Amino acid sequence: MKFIADRMLGKLARELRMLGYDTVYYRGENTYPLIKLAREEGRVILTRSTQFGSKRPEDRIVRITEDKPSLQLRELIQRKIISLLEEPPFSRCLVCNTLLIEIRREEAEGKVPDFIFYQQREFFRCPQCARVYWQGSHQDHMKKRIERLKNGR
């Protein structure tokens, strides 16, 4: 399942990417390009807005009711829009949504802080924006988060 999140849902977009979901974050105010992109790419629209311009029966629009960003991911799970781990987690760039590629450890040297380089074994790079990722603290944090979400908390 692929998503497009409106400008109110930046944090949710990042978390969905962390879970591996292909998620476009649309920052514009005008909803027409958002709907157009959703139709072209078969994306489910995630929005906080109650009014959406032109609607067709094939448009899939999920209105997020929770206004706390920390609870919006749980809302998607509780409403069974997504289920955890149907996509490989940590496979996408959190910033630009591109699939990451694994790189050799040597390639990460100088591109991450030294202590990270010495601590970590596996590194990944975004082919689009060149950010380097590693199996680090944000992943541990998110893994714990996933565990809690599995237990409905």
- Spatial separation of the C-alpha atoms in residues 73 and 69, rounded to whole Å: 8
Number of residues that bind Zn ion (CB under 5 A): 7
In the complex, the smallest distance separating the C-beta of residue 139 from Zn ion, rounded to whole angstroms, is: 16
- Binding to Zn ion (CB under 5 A) within 35-74 occurs at none
CB of 27 to Zn ion, least distance (A): 16
Can residue 5 be called a binding residue for Zn ion (CB under 5 A)?
Answer: no
Shorter beta-carbon distance to Zn ion: residue 11 or 74? 11
The strand ranges marked E within 104-151 are: 123-125, 132-134
Residues forming a β-bridge with 46: 5, 62
Applying CB under 5 A, among 65, 83, 119, 128 the residue interacting with Zn ion is 128
Q: Restricting to residues 82-121, name those near Zn ion by CB under 5 A.
A: 93, 95-96, 98
Name the residue nearer to Zn ion (CB basis): 96 or 149: 96
Polymer length of the chain:
153
CA-angle at 128, arms to 122 and 131, nearest 5°: 40
- Of positions 71, 84, 101, 129, contacts Zn ion by CB under 5 A: 129
Chain residues binding Zn ion by CB under 5 A are: 93, 95-96, 98, 126, 128-129
